[in-house]
Amino acid sequence: MPILTPDERIFCAIDTTNLEQAVELAQELKGAVGGFKLGKEFFTANGPGGVAKISELGQRIFLDLKFHDIPNTVAGAIKAARSLNCYMLTIHASGGAAMVRAAVEAKGEEEEPRILAVTILTSLTADDLVQLGQKLPVADQVLRLGKLAHESGADGLVASPQEVAALRAARGEDCLLVVPGIRPAWASTDDQKRIMTPGDAVKAGADFLVIGRPITQSKDPKVAAKLITDEIADALIR
Ligand code: C5P
């Protein structure tokens, strides 16, 4: 993994069904962030053609479709995704070791797309997990699924700010950690509850930060991205 510049660490989440708006925003932010995260909302509305439109701008694409199915089906989806020129994409660790291995094999020898596994969705509480029959505390279950996915060949994990330091300690340097739930001190928290500032997240061990509304809803998205880049740079030299 080459050393990342502070702006390269930012993936701006483009959560909209409106392709025109998405392209406009991506054009505006080109060069100010490392890439764009496109998820189910954007993909369901705009499909591979929409991904290509954003990708044409030359920035890295993080395709966050969180694949979770039988190994053969996930392998097929990853093979199909190879033509989309994505830098990284997501699967669910809870699909099991065979599913993660199938995803990694389907990617082939190429470095991209890097396969990231989602452990426990941060929207799930400890009570939700008990209801699902999982008795371990959330933090332990995250480490368990992180180990399973990483040892099955995943390039990295998506982690909440609360988990990033423990995952970095447990999984070592050779595991990409991608972290949403980031809020600069000057931004609104929106519906995010367990948040961390960009500076603290990189200090805790995050490689990439997924940041949406603090940039996209800002009066000047480019200025917001620059403020965040400066905060990351500052945190890395301390
Ligand atoms: O606007 P905001 O910065 O909250 O956007 C964060 C992005 O990261 C959204 O696309 C959201 O779906 C995603 N995400 C998250 N928390 C997680 C996993 C993904 O906010 N635990």
Q: Which atom of ligand 1 is nearest to the CA of 39?
A: 10
State the pLDDT at residue 1: 72
CATH of residue 12 = 3.20.20.70
Q: What average pLDDT score do residues 154-164 get?
A: 95
Residue 164 lies in a domain: yes
- What average pLDDT does this structure show over 96-106? 98
Residue 181, domain member (yes or no): yes
Residue 168 within any structural domain of the chain: yes
Atom number in ligand 1 closest to CA 213: 1
192 C-beta closer than 6 A to ligand 1:
yes
The amino acid at 45: A
Q: What is the pLDDT of residues 3-53, one digit of tens each?
A: 899 999 999 999 999 999 999 999 999 999 999 999 999 999 999 999 999
Is there an atom of ligand 1 within 6 Å of 198 CB? Answer: no
pLDDT at residue 183, rounded to an integer: 96
The CA distance from 82 to 100, in Å, is 16
Asked if 119 and 179 touch (Cβ cutoff 8 Å), the reply is no
Give the chain's domain count.
Answer: 1
Looking at residue 125, its pLDDT comes to 86
Instruction: Give the domain range for residue 173.
Output: 7-236
Angle at 30 between CA 28 and CA 36, to 5 degrees: 100
Tell me if 40 is assigned to some domain: yes
Residue 80 falls inside a structural domain: yes
1 in any annotated domain: no
CB of 119 shorter than 6 A to ligand 1:
no
Closest protein CA for atom 18 of ligand 1 = 180
Enumerate the active-site residues.
66
Position 2 in a domain: no
